[in-house]
Amino acid sequence: MHGVAENGAIESDERVLALHHVVAMTDDGARELGERYWGQVRRASLGLLRLEPTPLGSELRLHPIGVRLLRFDALQVSCGAEGVTCRYPIRGGLLARHAAGALVLSHSNDERPELRAAVTGFLPRFGPRPGYPSWTGWLYEWCQRRVHVAISRRFFGSLLQGARS
């Protein structure tokens, strides 16, 4: 599922059903979702994209030059009866118009669990802008969104196969 709000915020929600639980229904299980996701980002980019810790959270950097593509506030994990969630609030970076939205990774606690990788409320620098022609978001659509979908598929595949990233 993919959509754009009136203010240009991106909603991208990738989901898949699993046959069984793939991470523990604990805070550590929620953190594992994040570790596995960012491991797939690094592998898919041949090490060019890396999530690095900072005093305030983390940053997705382009190596070897170190450009800060996205900056995130501190990781937020939750564990409850519905499942586990790992949330990375977006606070800026080259690919963001300004601080808004989050990357959310989750695993439901259902008999047939749902795995989810979603970008919610994100305002991409190269995305569609209110009041401008619809083509203004083509760079986001053809690059950034496609990368998110491809990484999400790799992430789901690694979880379903039990592979560590």
Contacts of 129 (CB under 8 A, 6+ apart): 8, 136, 137
First to last CA, the chain: 25
3-class SS string, 5-53: CCCCCEEEEEEEECCCCCCCCCHHHHHHHHHHHHHHHHHHCCCCEEEEE
Report the pLDDT value the prediction gives residue 165, as an integer from 0 to 100: 44
**Which domains are assigned to the chain?**
2-160 (3.30.530)
pLDDT tens series, the chain, 165 aa? 776 767 777 888 999 999 999 999 999 999 999 999 999 999 999 999 999 999 999 999 999 998 999 999 999 999 999 999 999 999 999 999 989 999 999 999 999 999 999 999 998 887 776 766 666 666 666 667 778 788 999 999 999 987 554
